[in-house]
Amino acid sequence: KLKERNDKMDAIVKEEAGDLGAEGEDDLKSALVKHKLNHRQNDQEKLEQKTKIDIFENAFRKIKDATGVSDVNEVIQKIMSQEGTTENLMLLTKENQARIENFNDQETKLRERVEEVKYS
Residues 3 and 20 in one domain: yes
Calpha distance 84→102 (Å, rounded): 27
pLDDT at 21: 65
pLDDT digits (tens, 9 = 90+) for 95-105: 999 999 999 99
pLDDT on residue 98: 97
Number of domains in the chain: 2
Residues 112, 59 share a domain? no
**One domain, residues 77 and 36:** no
Q: Are residues 120 and 77 in the same domain?
A: yes
Residues 107 and 49 in one domain: no
pLDDT of residue 58: 92
Give CA–CA dist 57/51, Å, rounded: 10
Instruction: Give the domain-ending residue among 30, 48, 68.
Output: 68
The residue length of the chain stands at 120
Of 33, 52, 68, the last residue of a domain is 68
Q: pLDDT per position in the chain (120 positions), as tens?
A: 788 888 787 777 666 666 666 777 778 788 889 999 999 999 999 999 999 999 999 988 888 888 788 888 888 888 888 888 999 999 999 999 999 999 999 999 999 999 989 887
Does the predicted model carry a pTM greater than 0.75?
no
With beta carbons less than 8 A apart as the criterion, state whether 52 and 59 touch: no
Residue 12 sits in which domain range? 1-68
Statement to judge: residues 57 and 75 lie in one domain: no
Element holding 69 (H helix, E strand): none
What is the pLDDT at residue 76?
A: 82
